[in-house]
Amino acid sequence: MRKEDKAALVDEIADRLGEVETIFAVDYRGISVPQAAELRARLAEADATFRVVKNRLAKRATERAGTAELDRLFEGPTALAFVKGDAVTAAKAISIFGRQHDVLEYKGGLMEGAPLDPEQFRAIARLPGLDVLRGQLVGVVASPLTGLTRGLASMLSGLAIALGEIAERGLVAGEAEGEARAEEPEATEEPEATEEPEATEASAEEAETSKKTESDEEESPEESEADGEDSEGASEENS
């Protein structure tokens, strides 16, 4: 490689290091050209690129970009994943691809300026992607609104049905009352009962007679005693 080409490659790597916040370094030994193309397609979904680098040129690029902490990773075959988009999606793509093809050993990297070791990388790869999190958030936010909307719609529908039934029953009742009133015959005057007052007066007279009889019976002993006393007085005067 000519000197000019090497300088251009260092500039390119340095520019990419400065543009992204997440960088993954992997050992690419054993990966084929078709597999590398497949990995690049998967990483493109996370707005990430995959680039095999020469260690010596990569160290020069990190020095220019201010990412010298990556220098220790440039030992053996090394490829860099420059992630502009979702770091979780990119980590998942590398992790799943490595398990499927038994290639790509993660070496280390940077995430928002902080070193990212293999254990942290595996933990990130197990997280749900940004799109999934957004969908879950939208579902959580929209769920109460959807429930409220459905509840109000159900209440309004029930109220409308109830009012309709009430109105229908009221109209039916009014018609029935009108028909009943129309069919009801006029009441005829009944003749006055003449015998009932006489019977009542007779009953009253009988009751008064009964009372007088009872009162006479109660007073009879007293009158008999008075008569006895009068007779005795009269006998004494005669004697």
Q: What string of DSSP letters covers 171-189?
A: HHHHHHHHHHHHHPPPPPP
Calpha distance 60→13 (Å, rounded): 9
Calpha distance 157→149 (Å, rounded): 12
Give residue 144's pLDDT.
59
Give residue 183's pLDDT.
53
Give residue 225's pLDDT.
46
Give residue 164's pLDDT.
66
pLDDT tens series, the chain, 239 aa: 788 888 999 999 999 999 999 999 999 999 999 999 999 999 999 899 999 999 999 999 999 998 989 999 999 999 999 999 999 999 999 999 999 999 999 999 999 889 999 999 999 999 886 555 555 555 545 555 565 566 666 666 666 666 666 666 665 444 445 454 545 555 444 545 444 444 444 454 555 555 554 444 444 444 444 444 444 444 444 43
Q: What are the beta bridge partners of residue 106? A: 26
Give residue 38's pLDDT.
95
The pTM is what?
Answer: 0.55
Calpha distance 168→213 (Å, rounded): 71
Calpha distance 102→30 (Å, rounded): 9
Give residue 3's pLDDT.
85
Tokens representing 111 are: 């995430």
Alpha helices in the chain (DSSP H): 3-19, 33-44, 55-65, 87-101, 118-125, 130-183, 195-238
